[in-house]
C-alpha cells in the first residue's frame, strides 16, 4: 500500500463508473510502494458527461496519467490531444499519459487480453472469434486480435449508441488491416448461433454478469456453448461469471478477465513511470481475494 505522500508525489487517476469493485488501486499502489516509486493511484467515480472536466482536471492538477474505464473510454476521445494508433483504430482509450499538459490516449486492453490468451495456452492466430459487446473494451480486443492474426472476427452488439461507432471501427480495421471483421445485431439470434458454431473463441465484452452491474449471462442461449470452445469473459469481479460457469459445465475452455486486467497494466505502468512493473507482485495482489 502507499507508504508515504510527499510534496513531489505523482498522481495517477482511475476514472469511470462504477469503480468501487476495481482492484487496480490496490494493485498499483502496492507495486509503487514495493518498487520505491513516489506515485499514488487514486480512483475518481466519474460518468461520461464528466469527460471534459476530467481532462481539464488532469491538466490543472498535473496528474501524470490515468486509467479510463466505462463509460468514459469513448466519451473522452474528443478532449485528448493525441491518440496512439490502436486507440485511433478502435475509437477508445483506457490509458492517458500527461506530458507537460499534452494528453495522449492509449489502448492497452487488447494487448492485455491477447497476452492472457497466450498465457492460458490458447492459440489464436488463424482462428475465428466472436465478440459480444462493442464498447471500448470490445473494440480494443477486436483491434488487437486483428493486429495479431485472428482470421475472422464477428462483433455483436445491440443497435444502441455503440452500434454506429462499432460500424465505423469495423470499416477502419477492414480497410487498414484487411481482416475479415463483421458487425452483427445481437437480436439476430440465428446469425449469432451460426457465428458461434463456426468460432474457436467466444468473448464477453459486455458488463452483463459483473458485480454491481447487469446481472445474468451475456449469452442468451447456453446451448450454443460446446466442448472445446474457448470462452472468455473480460469481467474479473466475480472471477467466475455466470457465462464462465455455464461454459465450464459444458466442457469449454474458460479464461477469466483477471489476466487481461493484469497485462493491460504492464504497458500503462511503463508509460507512466518509465519502469517495468513487478508483474509477479501485481499478479499476487490482483488474484488474491478475487472470487
Alpha-carbon gap, residue 184 to 69, rounded angstroms: 24
Alpha-carbon gap, residue 53 to 115, rounded angstroms: 33
Contact 221, 147 (CB under 8 A): no
pLDDT value for 289: 61
Residue 109, marked binder? yes
Poorest-pLDDT segment among 67-71, 87-91, 204-208, 215-219: 215-219
pLDDT value for 2: 55
Label residues 77-87 b or e (16+ Cβ within 10 Å = b). Answer: bebbeebbebb
Assess whether 77 carries a catalytic annotation: no
Segment 36-76, tens digit of pLDDT: 999 999 999 999 999 999 999 999 999 999 999 989 999 99
What cell was used for 86? 490502436
More confident residue, 44 or 4: 44
Instruction: Kindly name the residue from 51, 70, 73, 166 that is annotated as catalytic.
Output: 73
- Residue 233 phi, psi dihedral angles, 5° rounding: -130, 130
Alpha-carbon gap, residue 39 to 54, rounded angstroms: 19
The distance in angstroms from the start CA to the end CA of the chain is: 21
* Section 223-248 average pLDDT: 96
Name the pTM for this structure. 0.88
* Domains in the chain with CATH codes: 10-106+262-287 (3.40.50.10860), 110-255 (3.40.50.720)
Residue 263, marked binder? no
> What percent of the chain has pLDDT above 90?
84
Poorest-pLDDT segment among 106-115, 154-163, 196-205, 212-221: 212-221
Residue 137, marked binder? yes
pLDDT value for 178: 87
Residue 94, marked binder? yes
Dihedral of the alpha carbons of 225, 169, 236, 96, in degrees to the nearest 10: 170
- Burial label for 197, CB within 10 Å (0-12, 13-18, 19+), is exposed
Unique residue bearing C-alpha cell 493525441: 82
Residue 264, marked binder? yes
Smallest CA-to-CA distance from 77 within 181, 175, 168, 150 is with: 168
> Length of the chain, please?
291
- The mean of the pLDDT values for the chain is 94
Long-range contacts, stretch 44-50, CB < 8 angstroms, 24+ apart? 44/13, 44/14, 44/15, 44/19, 45/16, 45/17, 45/18, 45/19, 45/20, 46/15, 46/16, 46/17, 46/72, 47/17, 47/71, 47/72, 48/72, 48/75, 49/75, 50/15
Residue 239, marked binder? no
pLDDT value for 155: 97
Long-range contacts, stretch 286-291, CB < 8 angstroms, 24+ apart? 286/23, 286/26, 286/27, 286/258, 286/261, 286/262, 287/258, 290/23, 290/236, 290/237, 290/238, 290/239, 290/258, 291/237, 291/238, 291/239
Residue 162 pLDDT level (bands cut at 50, 70, 90): confident
Segment 75-131, tens digit of pLDDT: 999 999 999 999 999 998 999 999 999 999 999 999 999 999 999 999 999 999 999
The answer, yes or no, to whether the previous bond of 71 is cis (omega within 30 of 0) is yes
Segment 258-276, tens digit of pLDDT: 999 999 999 999 999 999 9
Residue 3, marked binder? no
Is residue 291 over pLDDT 70? no
Residue 22, marked binder? yes
pLDDT value for 202: 99
What cell was used for 25? 488501486
Is residue 287 over pLDDT 90? no
Amino acid at each position: 500500500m502507499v507508504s508515504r505522500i510527499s510534496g513531489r508525489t505523482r498522481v495517477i487517476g482511475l476514472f469511470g463508473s462504477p469503480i468501487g469493485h476495481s482492484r487496480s488501486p490496490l494493485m498499483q499502489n502496492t507495486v509503487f510502494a514495493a518498487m520505491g516509486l513516489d506515485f499514488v493511484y487514486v480512483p475518481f467515480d466519474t460518468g461520461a458527461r464528466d469527460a471534459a472536466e476530467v481532462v481539464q482536471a488532469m491538466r490543472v492538477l498535473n496528474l501524470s496519467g490515468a486509467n479510463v474505464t466505462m463509460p468514459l473510454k469513448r466519451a473522452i476521445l474528443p478532449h485528448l490531444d493525441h491518440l496512439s494508433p490502436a486507440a485511433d483504430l478502435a475509437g477508445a482509450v483506457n490509458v492517458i499519459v500527461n506530458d507537460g499538459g499534452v494528453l495522449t490516449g492509449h489502448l492497452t486492453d487488447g494487448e492485455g487480453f491477447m497476452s492472457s490468451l497466450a498465457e492460458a495456452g490458447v492459440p489464436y492466430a488463424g482462428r475465428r472469434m466472436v465478440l459480444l459487446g462493442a464498447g471500448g473494451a470490445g473494440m480494443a480486443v477486436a483491434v488487437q486480435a486483428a493486429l495479431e492474426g485472428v482470421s475472422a472476427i464477428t462483433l455483436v452488439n445491440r443497435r444502441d449508441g455503440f452500434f454506429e461507432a462499432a460500424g465505423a471501427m469495423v470499416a477502419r480495421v477492414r480497410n487498414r488491416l484487411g481482416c475479415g471483421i463483421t458487425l452483427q445485431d445481437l437480436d439476430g439470434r440465428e446469425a449469432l448461433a451460426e457465428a458461434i458454431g463456426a468460432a474457436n473463441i467466444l468473448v464477453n465484452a459486455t458488463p452483463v454478469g459483473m458485480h454491481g452491474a447487469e446481472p445474468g449471462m451475456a449469452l442468451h442461449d447456453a446451448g450454443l456453448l460446446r466442448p472445446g470452445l474457448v470462452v472468455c469473459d473480460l469481467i474479473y469481479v466475480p472471477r467466475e461469471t455466470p457465462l464462465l460457469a455455464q461454459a465450464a459445465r459444458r466442457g469449454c475452455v474458460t479464461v477469466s478477465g483477471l489476466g487481461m486486467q493484469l497485462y493491460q497494466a504492464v504497458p500503462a505502468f511503463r508509460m507512466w513511470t518509465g519502469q517495468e512493473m513487478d508483474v509477479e507482485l501485481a499478479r499476487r495482489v490482483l488474484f488474491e481475494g478475487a472470487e
